[in-house]
Chain A
Amino acid sequence: MQRCSILLCLMFLMSFSASVWADEVEQHIAKIKQVQKEGQGNLAASQAVQQLSKMDSTALIPILSSFENANPLAVNWLCGAFEAIAAKAIQQKKLPAKKLEAFVLDTSKNPRARRLAYETLIKVDSSAADRIIPGMINDASVTLRRDAVQRLIDEAKKLEKSDKKDQAKKVYQRALSGATDSDQVKAIVKPLRNLGEKIDLQEHFGFLSDWMIVGPFDNREKKGYAAVYAPEKNVDFSVELEGKEGKVNWKSVNTEDDYGIFDVAKSISPYKGAVMYCAADFHSPQKQALEIRLGTPNAWKIWVNGKLLFARNEYHRGMVLDQYSVPVTFQPGKNVILLKLCQNEQDDSWAQRYQFQLRIAHPSGTGVRSQKPEATTQLAP
């Protein structure tokens, strides 16, 4: 009877200490998740992360789980604690590999937490990549998906070399379904086109290709960036406007470029010291949080439904796909995107580009095309 009591007491104590320990982990995590911009909460988070980093491997999964709803700064703090604990656990051969693998496979978890779990797992189990990655072709984690796409590209290349063209084509097509990084898309599209496949890259990436455009307005001495011209007050395609060189009207333009590039300098005129306004509709079947992804070597501002989302006063520092990612919430029905594109007066040969490419994408990078107007609910006027 006495032994039984002692055992019960021990069990209670163990359970109690485990509960206290779990509380401690959660408290540290909670303090870390309070960090905000400009170092707010840094002092408490610094103490918490140092305490958390001393915990044992049982803290790993709670830390990964806490990435959910954590801001990007807090994610990095949590990442620091996770890596410190994981390094010790690997050294002590106490890494909870099975739990980490289950976490990676749980698509409801935060994509970055899953990637971190994966990268930690393969340090102790290199075969895990073969088990996990092939199933990630449409994963929400950009990096897990990239690894899966790469495997398919490699497989397709081998098939192509072995003259198994039909099989290669199918594998390339599967790879393309998950590919969003431009290097991988290029590596897939070229052989696929050589194999006779027609590919609409604008659709794949979600580029907007049909625009209304008006200008030029004055941007001499780069003053037009701050100036508020008529389209910023009201987008009305029927109205004639006072431009830099006289009256200007909105006109319809289109680009057939694979990567959605509309070149103002080539298609309209190589204006200098100019502002052009470009407008396009995006029809959304429902309210949805997406990203506007813009590439341009010119200064710009962007509005959606009249609300300024972001502005960038930088000229001729290069242009790449997805140069800027601007979070946006589209309303059901028609959404009006207005882009202000500014060209400066530099005469250097490398400072003549006046162009942009704009696409709509999920945060994971997957393109989203505008729906046909009839498929969407129109906003009430």
Chain B
Amino acid sequence: MKNEFFKLVLPLFAVCMCSGADWPQFRGPLTNNVATSEAPPSKVDAENIAWSADLEGRGASGPIVVGNKVFVTCTTGFKQDQLHVLCFDTETGKRLWKRQFWATGRTQCHNKMSVATSTPASDGKRVFATFSSNDVVCLDLDGNLLWIRGLSHDFPNASNSLGMASSPIVVGETLIVPVENDDDSFTTGLDVKTGIARWKIKRPRIANWTSPTILKSGPEAEALVLLQSSEGVDAIYPETGETAWQFEQGAGRIPSTTVGENILFVPSNGLTALVPGTSSEPPKVLWKEQKLSPATASPLVYQKRVFTVNRAGVLSCGSLETGEIVWRLRLKGPFSATPIAASNHLYLVSEKGLLQVVQLSEEKGEVTGEIDLKEMILATPAISNNSLFLRSDKHLWKISSK
């Protein structure tokens, strides 16, 4: 009974530790790309840049925000083997601290990617940064090292010559770190206090760049973590790594599953919508739609619609119930960053650094503002403090109302 109580309460506690304004991990507090109580600027131009801060080296990881601090990771050195975690003041953009470590695993990756492609995560007290070398660093919010793991040091065949990109998530007292690749492929749940593995499960032996997603079917329901791979989606219990259910119809290895309105949107056969059963029952297929097939960016669910971006940079809006296309809008792509949403707008940043704001209505989407940041941006932005935070290799920007 006690264990059951903690299983229910701890995930909620972790989410509560981050204030409402925080963006504590890849795709936000609920890993669904949405900031519910935020109002970043809807009509943007260059004057909305509140500040920009210099970064060094390479980094395709997204920024995260905890309180009045924004955290980013990057790597330097010819082999990108110097790993950095940086912290900036959200108000001023002043760099508060920087810590560096050496990669203990392989740092080879595709030229477009970086060894710092995984977005860090936070439980509100600690920051967890992971890198393509499978080093996992845990610092407090002031930059003091709490623990560090070298997962490729421990398991030398856990690596990907094209680079690792999956972002970790925190659920309760567990940091979930996917290390999925062609050889020694696994996902592990690390104790947030010590870095020691609570569990480690074998995963399909194929390179995988997707990130875990939180599924919480209702206020009283137990949180599950969705692990996507070429074989489909496994829902696991975050405390133990045990499997609750499996969806075995295959899935993509780049864009990740998104949950919205208690429906799973899986990049599988185009896009597949799944309705979850009870915690141990496999979900049922609601619909499949090829026209909603996402490219690199993950799907987004917002205001009872599902949105995807295809290879041609076309934003598609689909019905949640049927998958039918409601409207389409050609944007200036291509996109690697996942679109995010707040206050009736979508925010999409192209690989060329063009931030485009799309205002939503029932019948259409309309671009209401653009800022050309003129640098390659692959990282998904963060929304916090009614502002957007974006990063390239060279800069971190805060975009706010004037």
A73 engages B108 (CB within 8 Å): no
Give the CA-CA distance A50 to B138 in the complex, in Å.
12
Question: Is A80's CB under 8 angstroms from B148's CB?
Answer: yes
Bound-state CA distance A184–B77 (Å) is 13
List the A side residues contacting B327 at CB < 8 Å: none
Name the one of A76, A297, A314, A323 contacting B135, with C-beta atoms under 8 angstroms: A76
In the complex, residue of chain A having the shortest beta-carbon distance to the beta carbon of B142: A84
B146-185 interface with A by 8 A CB criterion: 146-150, 153-154, 156-157, 160-162, 181-183
Q: Can you list 25 A-B pairs with a CB-CB distance of less than 8 A? A: A37-B153, A39-B190, A45-B147, A46-B147, A46-B194, A49-B145, A49-B146, A72-B102, A73-B153, A76-B101, A76-B104, A77-B148, A80-B148, A83-B143, A84-B144, A87-B143, A143-B77, A143-B82, A311-B157, A314-B183, A317-B160, A317-B161, A317-B182, A318-B162, A320-B108
**Known pairs A53-B145, A317-B160. 4 more at Cβ < 8 A?**
A39-B147, A42-B147, A42-B194, A46-B195
Q: How far is the CA of A119 from the CA of B135 in the complex (A)?
A: 21
* Mask: chain B, 217-243; 1 = CB below 8 Å from A; 0 = not: 000000000000000000000000000
Interface residues of B, CB < 8 Å — how many?
Answer: 43
3 shortest A-B CB distances, which residue pairs?
A80-B145, A317-B161, A39-B196
Nearest B residue to A119 by beta-carbon distance?
A: B100
Assembled-state Cα–Cα distance A183/B154 (Å): 30
A143 to B160, CA, bound (A): 24
Residue of A nearest to B161 (CB): A317
- B139 partner residues in chain A, CB cutoff 8 A: 80
Binding site for A on B (CB under 8 A): 77-79, 82, 97-102, 104, 106, 108, 110, 135, 137, 139, 143-150, 153-154, 156-157, 160-162, 181-183, 190, 193-197, 205, 207
Known: A312-B157, A314-B183. A73 touches B78 (CB 8 A): no
Please, which residue of chain A has its CB at the minimum distance from the CB of B196? A39
Tell me which residues across on chain B come within 8 A of A319, comparing CB atoms: 161
B-chain residues with CB within 8 Å of residue A39 when the two chains form the complex: 147, 149, 190, 194-197
Complex alpha-carbon distance, A74 and B146, angstroms: 13
B161 CB contact (under 8 Å) in A53, A181, A314: A314
| Contact across chains for A76 and B148 when beta carbons are under 8 A apart | yes
In the complex, whether A324 has a CB less than 8 A from a CB of chain B is yes
B104, B148, B157, B183: residue with the most chain A Cβ atoms closer than 10 Å: B148
The answer to whether A318 and B108 touch across the interface, beta carbons within 8 angstroms, is: yes
User: A58-99: which have CB < 8 Å to B?
Assistant: 72-73, 75-77, 79-81, 83-84, 87
Task: Please give, as numbers and ranges, the residues of chain B lying within 8 Å of A80 by CB-CB distance.
Answer: 99, 101, 137, 139, 144-145, 148
How distant is A319 from chain B, measured CB to nearest CB, in Å?
A: 8
Q: Which chain A residue shows the least CB distance to B184?
A: A313
CA distance A242 to B79 in the complex (A): 42
Closest residue of chain A to B194 (Cβ to Cβ) is A42
Give CA–CA (A317, B205) in the complex, Å: 14
Give the docked Cα–Cα distance between A53 and B154 (Å). Answer: 25
Given A77-B145, A77-B148, A80-B99: A146 in contact with B78 (beta carbons within 8 A): yes
